[in-house]
């Protein structure tokens, strides 16, 4: 059974700092890896999807990497802003996604 772990559980950084969020998974035979953002009381917003054959995806200030051999993915956020404050979730799978518990990010002005 796939298990997904996210470290740290919470992170607080000053505005402008670059940061990395970590995600690890136990079953390397994943179909894809998806990163989401969740704001309080809201649903999930898809940020990046990395197919199993890919190594990374980029969107604006976000870059996600995937290393299947080590069972790890990272989400890199450049030049963080207060509006980036949210919980970030990673999920592995094909149609049935297995989620981590998330990293709660606070960007301090």
Site string (16-45) toward another protein, x via CB under 8 A: ---------------xx-x-x----xxxxx
| Residues 100, 90 contacting (CB under 8 angstroms) | yes
Joined tokens for residue 50: 């990395």
Residues 75-104 that bind another protein (CB under 8 A): 89, 91, 94-102
- Rounded to whole angstroms, the Cα distance separating 71 from 33 reads 11
Burial string for 7-16 (b: 16+ CB within 10 Å, else e) reads: eeeebebeee
* Closest to 34 in 3D by CA, of 66, 78, 61, 11: 66
CB of 25 to another protein, least distance (A): 12
CB of 54 to another protein, least distance (A): 9
Judged by CB under 8 A, the number of residues near another protein is 24
What residues make contact with another protein under the rule CB under 8 A?
Answer: 4, 31-32, 34, 36, 41-46, 49, 51, 89, 91, 94-102
């Amino acid at each position: 059974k796939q298990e997904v772990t996210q470290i740290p559980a919470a992170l607080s950084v000053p505005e402008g700092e670059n940061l990395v969020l970590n995600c690890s998974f136990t079953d390397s035979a994943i179909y894809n890896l998806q990163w989401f953002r969740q704001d309080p009381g809201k649903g999930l917003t898809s940020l990046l999807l990395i197919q199993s054959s890919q190594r990374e995806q980029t969107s604006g200030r976000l870059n996600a990497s995937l290393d299947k051999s080590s069972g790890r993915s990272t989400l890199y956020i450049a030049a963080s802003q207060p509006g980036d404050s949210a919980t970030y979730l990673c999920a592995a799978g094909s149609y049935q996604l297995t989620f981590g518990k998330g990293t709660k990010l606070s960007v301090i002005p």
